[in-house]
A and B are shown apart, each in its own frame.
Chain A
Amino acid sequence: MVENSPAPLPERAIYGFALFLGSWFGFILYLIWAYVPETWLFSLGLTYWPQKYWAVALPVYLLVAIGIGYILLFGINMMSTAPLNSTYTITDNYAQKQRQKKFQEEAIPALRDIPISEVNRMFFLPEK
C-alpha cells in the first residue's frame, strides 16, 4: 500500500518539470498569437489560427466569470439556508428515525440527538 505523504518523489519532480515547461510553452504561444501580425503568420503558413479578437476576449471572460462566481456563491449560500419557519432548523431525517439504545448502568449513554424542548428546559428554565 503506497502511503500518501507530501514528501518529494522523483515522479513528482518529473511531473512538476513537465508542467513548468508546458506552461512556459503555452504562454509563449499565447504571446505569439496575440502580438505577431496576421500577415507574418500567413507567410509562415499558419492560416487557420483563431481570430486575435479572442486573445483579448478570453481573459476578459475568465476574469468576469471569476468575479461573478464570488457573488453567485454568496447568493447560492443564502438561498440554501433554511428559512426561519422550516423544520430543518430543529430536526432532520436522521434524527427522526433514530432508535433509542437501552440504558445500561455505569455506562456512558449512547450518542443521540436531544430534542429541542429538553435542551431549552435545561438552558433557560433554571432560576438565576
Chain B
Amino acid sequence: MEERRYRSAGGAPIALRRRQHSASCRELAVRCPRLQLCSLSAVTSAVWLAAYGLFALTENSMVLSAAIFVMLIGLIMYLHFVKIDQESLLVIGSLGIQVTSSYASGKESTTFIEMSQVKDVVINEAIHMQKVIYYLCILLQDPRDPQGISEVVPLFQSSKPRLDCLIEVYRSCQEILDQRKTVPQ
C-alpha cells in the first residue's frame, strides 16, 4: 500500500492511495482536501453580516435566527450531499469495477459495473466550463455488440486529478484489464 501526493485540476492537494489485494484485484483511492476552516468562517461571517444588514434595515429579529438556522441546515446539507471526502476505484479482474464516493458526513454511494460491460478504462480530454481537462472514464459496451460504445462513465468527478495522477491510475487499471485477454472468458 502506498500513498502519493498530487494536485487536482484546480490546484488543491489530493492524495492517491494504491492497494493491491491480490494479483487481479486492486483498489485506488483519491482523497480530496478537507473542508478548510478559513473558507467555512468566511462563508459564515458573510451570511451573518448580510443577515445583520437585513436586520438593521427591517428591524425584525426573526432575520437573525433565520440566518443561524439557514447556516446550520446549509452546512449539514453541504456535508451530506456535496462535499466528497474520498473517491475510490476497486478493480477485480474477473468480476467487475466498483466505484465508491464517500461524503464528508460519512455517507457512501457505490456503483458496480460487471466486467462483461466494461470495454476499457481510458483517459479522455473534454471541454468543461471554459477549460479542457483530462479525466478518467470507463467505456461501457453492450455485451451483444463488442464494437460499439454504449455509455461513458466519468470517474473522480469532484477530485479532478491532474494528468500525472491519472496516468498512474490508468496504468494500474490496464494491468488488471490486460489479464482479461490472456484468460479466455
Contacts and interface: CB of A to CB of B under 8 A. Distances in A.
Interface stretch (A60-68, A87-95, A101-109): A87-95
A114 to B, nearest CB: 12
B152 A117 contact: no
Band of interface residues on B: 20 to 34
Interface in B127-176: 127-129, 135, 137, 139, 148-154, 157, 167, 170-171, 174
A2 interface: no
Contacts of A86: 152
A77 to B, nearest CB: 10
B149 A91 contact: yes
B167 A84 contact: no
A67 to B, nearest CB: 20
B157 A90 contact: no
A125 B173 CA distance: 11
A91 B139 CA distance: 12
18 contacts: A84-B135, A84-B137, A84-B152, A84-B157, A85-B151, A85-B152, A86-B152, A87-B149, A87-B150, A89-B152, A90-B124, A96-B148, A116-B124, A117-B119, A117-B120, A117-B122, A121-B174, A124-B171
